[in-house]
């Protein structure tokens, strides 16, 4: 009898994690996972979600000029912004380290924009950039906004990565006669690889949040150069163009999933 | 050596000015009279080709727009309260629901853990618009559209804080958990007495980030809250920019203040929490 109880108890302990995970997973399922699966389903059905129409919406979306514009802009934005942010924040981190005792004030300064609500800076942005919003420079205003907002966060990540590199490595390299450039190239950069993974994924995350700025500063129909997928989704939502919205959203999600799977190596801990 | 150090300051100060100028402009702008605002920055907003005049200090500093906002604009207080009504339950929810989940993903070894972690990362990256239609329908079926919970619940279950906290819990030394287990502490006890205290920086970091996220939220309230009397400040502000320049200036500043104060209060933890995410054991 006691033995049976022991076995039961041991099995209960094996599934204890479910109690920790259940509330969050339930909510994630209801509010994100099932809605996402429903988006995929709807992309194959008509607007009312009743009749199966196969790939029709996808074909319509791919041939849609607005979608092509928005997809190109979004891809271009991500492809330009993320490398720029990664490099600028790394350079900033190195500079802050080079002036070590005075770094604090700059850390605060660069993190501060993260705390500035979009709605608060709309007015200022309209005053400063208003003249640029009706030309191709609008795209670069968005790039600037993104960099302005997110450099600090990534800089802190880089600083943590830099701090975690052991001094003995540099000392050993120094003894072997390595130049500073060589130390940077062969010690610093390789050691920063894990940080690079998280910096990239968060940069990607924040690149989608820039839509708030774009929307509030320039409205639902901004200049062509900064018309992003999210503008398009929003406008299709307003027009109840549900099937095409779902098909386009599914395609975007598929691209994101491929990126995440490619980057998975950076998150997996090597413990098991 | 000294010369080298000085050179590093130049780009840093230049970048820092980009931030401080924005804050300076907002403070000074809210001390300007409507006439002065119209004369200096007004031309850019009307779009009639007039030239913007940049002034460093207001010619005649005045508190009139501030007083006007505080005394004559009761809806401002309603919006302010509406914002808090969304922010506080959302962030508390992220803490109560997210922390145990993050602990499970970080510290328990079970089948499907890696896939589940990837699911959380994937959902965290999905822009709001990808699931907005089904989201709307789910909330509608639950009778929550136009209710504050339509905004609060999805935020409370958000995957992002879980991701941040997982990173923090990963940094808790394994030896401590083994010691707790040898002392006979169960899973809950270990979480409560070892995990929570040691994971505090990333928990607080997640809360600061959550606060900032909900405080500035645009898309969710815009989609799920139809009744303007329940709107948060973030939706109300952009609307008054065009008509009420003076009020908009002051309101922008007042909206900025709680976020910045909360940020400065939490900056230390935010940095520690971000750092925990940046380094792997």
Whether the CA torsion B203, B91, A23, B189 is positive or negative: it is positive
Residue B37, chain A, CB below 8 Å: the answer is no
Neighbours of A246 (CB within 10 A): 29
Which pLDDT band, with edges at 50, 70 and 90, does B46 fall under?
low
Q: Are A251 and A229 in contact (CB under 8 A)?
A: no
Residue A182, chain B, CB below 8 Å: the answer is no
pLDDT at B2: 54
Q: What average pLDDT does range B187-211 have in this prediction?
A: 91
Class level of CATH domain B70-278: mainly alpha
pLDDT at A268: 57
pLDDT in tens, chain A (272 residues): 577 777 777 777 778 889 999 999 999 999 999 999 999 999 999 988 889 999 999 999 999 999 999 999 999 999 999 999 999 999 999 999 988 888 888 999 999 999 998 888 888 888 888 778 888 899 999 999 999 999 999 999 999 889 888 888 888 888 888 888 888 888 899 888 888 888 998 899 999 989 998 998 888 899 999 999 999 999 999 999 999 999 999 999 999 999 988 887 766 554 44
Query: What are the tens digits of pLDDT across the range B124-151?
Result: 999 999 888 889 989 999 999 999 999 9
- Has residue B280 got a pLDDT over 70? no
ipTM more than 0.95?
Answer: no
In terms of Cα–Cα distance, which of B225, B154, B223 is closest to A237? B223
User: Please, which residues 165-204 of chain B have a Cβ atom closer than 8 Å to chain A?
Assistant: 167, 170, 186-187, 191
Most B CBs within 10 Å: which of A17, A33, A120, A246, as the mutation test of the B interface? A120
Put simply, the answer to whether A117 touches B19 (Cβ < 8 Å) is no
In terms of Cα–Cα distance, which of B139, B217, B41, B265 is closest to A118? B217
> CA-to-CA distance for A163 and A155, rounded, in angstroms?
12
Put simply, the answer to whether B133 touches A246 (Cβ < 8 Å) is yes
3-state secondary structure of A52: strand
pLDDT at B242: 64
Put simply, the answer to whether A20 touches B103 (Cβ < 8 Å) is yes
3-state secondary structure of A255: helix
Query: What are the tens digits of pLDDT across the range B101-116?
Result: 999 999 888 888 989 9
Calculate how close chain A gets to B28, using CA atoms only, in Å. 12
Q: In chain B, which segments carry CATH 1.10.3720.10?
A: 70-278
- Look-up: residue for tokens 């120094």? A174
- Has residue B94 got a pLDDT over 60? yes
Calculate how close chain A gets to B264, using CA atoms only, in Å. 8
Question: Per-residue b/e over A102-125, b at no fewer than 16 CB within 10 Å?
Answer: ebeebbbbbbbbbbbbbbbbbbbb
> CA-to-CA distance for A58 and A48, rounded, in angstroms?
16
> CA-to-CA distance for B187 and A16, rounded, in angstroms?
7
Which pLDDT band, with edges at 50, 70 and 90, does B4 fall under?
low
3-state secondary structure of B277: helix
Phi, psi torsion values for A52, nearest 5 degrees: -70, 130
pLDDT at B281: 44
A28 contacts: CB under 8 Å, gap ≥ 6:
B119, B120, B123, B157, B159
The runs of H, that is alpha helices, within B73-195 are 74-107, 113-125, 132-141, 149-156, 159-170, 174-182, 187-190
For A21, which of B44, B104, B138 is closest by C-beta distance?
B104
pLDDT at A63: 95
Tell me the whole-structure pTM to 2 decimals: 0.90
B127 exposure class (CB count in 10 Å sphere: 0-12, 13-18, 19+):
buried
Put simply, the answer to whether A114 touches B263 (Cβ < 8 Å) is yes
3-state secondary structure of A45: strand
In chain A, the domains with their CATH numbers are: 2-42 (no CATH), 65-266 (1.10.3720.10)
B78 contacts: CB under 8 Å, gap ≥ 6:
B229
Q: CA torsion A22→A27→A32→A36, rounded to 10°?
A: 70
Put simply, the answer to whether A120 touches B237 (Cβ < 8 Å) is yes
> CA-to-CA distance for A231 and A215, rounded, in angstroms?
8
Put simply, the answer to whether A237 touches B223 (Cβ < 8 Å) is yes
For B212, which of A38, A114, A249 is closest by C-beta distance?
A114
Put simply, the answer to whether B275 touches A160 (Cβ < 8 Å) is yes
3-state secondary structure of A106: helix
């Amino acid at each position: 009898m006691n033995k049976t109880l022991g076995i039961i108890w041991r099995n209960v302990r094996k599934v204890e994690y479910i109690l920790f995970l259940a509330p969050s997973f339930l909510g994630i399922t209801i509010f994100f996972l099932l809605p996402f699966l429903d988006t995929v389903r709807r992309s194959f059905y008509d607007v009312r979600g009743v009749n199966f129409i196969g790939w029709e919406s996808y074909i319509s979306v791919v041939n849609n000029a607005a979608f092509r514009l928005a997809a190109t802009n979004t891809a271009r934005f991500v492809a330009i912004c993320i490398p720029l942010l990664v490099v600028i924040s790394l350079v900033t981190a190195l500079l802050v380290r080079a002036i070590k005792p005075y770094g604090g004030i700059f850390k605060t300064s660069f993190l501060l924009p993260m705390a500035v609500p979009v709605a608060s800076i709309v007015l200022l942005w309209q005053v400063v950039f208003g003249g640029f919003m009706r030309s191709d420079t609008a795209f670069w205003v968005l790039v600037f906004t993104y960099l302005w907002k997110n450099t600090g966060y990534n800089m802190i990540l880089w600083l943590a990565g830099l701090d975690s590199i052991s001094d003995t490595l540099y000392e050993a390299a120094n003894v072997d006669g390595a130049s500073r450039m060589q130390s940077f190239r062969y010690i610093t950069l390789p050691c920063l690889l894990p940080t690079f993974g998280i910096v990239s994924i968060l940069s990607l995350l924040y690149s989608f949040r820039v839509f708030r700025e774009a929307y509030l500063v320039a409205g639902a129909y901004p200049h062509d150069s900064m018309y992003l997928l999210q503008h398009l989704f929003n406008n299709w939502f307003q027009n109840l163009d549900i099937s095409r919205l779902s098909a386009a959203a599914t395609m975007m999600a598929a691209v994101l999933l491929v990126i995440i799977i490619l980057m998975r190596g950076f998150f997996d801990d090597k413990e098991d | 050596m000294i010369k080298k150090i000085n050179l590093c300051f130049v780009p840093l100060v230049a970048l820092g000015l980009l931030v401080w100028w924005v804050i300076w402009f907002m403070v000074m702008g809210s001390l300007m009279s409507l006439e002065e605002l119209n004369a200096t920055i007004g031309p850019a907003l009307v779009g009639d080709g007039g030239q913007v005049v940049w002034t460093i200090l207001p010619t005649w500093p005045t508190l009139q727009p501030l007083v006007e906002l505080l005394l004559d604009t009761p809806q401002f207080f309603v919006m302010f309260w509406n914002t808090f009504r969304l922010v506080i339950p959302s962030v508390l929810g992220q803490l109560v629901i997210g922390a145990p989940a993050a602990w499970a993903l970080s510290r328990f070894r079970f089948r499907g853990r890696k896939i589940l972690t990837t699911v959380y990362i994937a959902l965290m990256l999905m822009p709001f618009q990808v699931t907005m239609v089904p989201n709307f329908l789910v909330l509608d079926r639950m009778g929550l559209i136009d209710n504050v919970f339509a905004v609060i619940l999805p935020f409370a279950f958000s995957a992002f804080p879980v991701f941040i906290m997982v990173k923090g819990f990963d940094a808790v030394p394994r030896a401590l958990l083994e010691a707790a287990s040898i002392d006979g502490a169960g899973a809950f006890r270990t979480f409560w007495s070892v995990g929570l205290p040691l994971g505090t920086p990333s928990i607080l970091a997640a809360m600061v980030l959550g606060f900032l996220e909900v405080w500035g939220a645009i898309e969710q309230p815009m989609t799920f809250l139809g009744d303007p009397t329940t709107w948060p400040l973030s939706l109300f502000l952009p609307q008054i920019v065009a008509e009420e320049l003076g009020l908009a200036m002051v309101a922008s500043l007042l909206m900025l203040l709680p976020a910045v104060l909360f940020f400065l209060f939490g900056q230390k933890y935010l940095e520690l929490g971000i750092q925990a995410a940046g380094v792997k054991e």
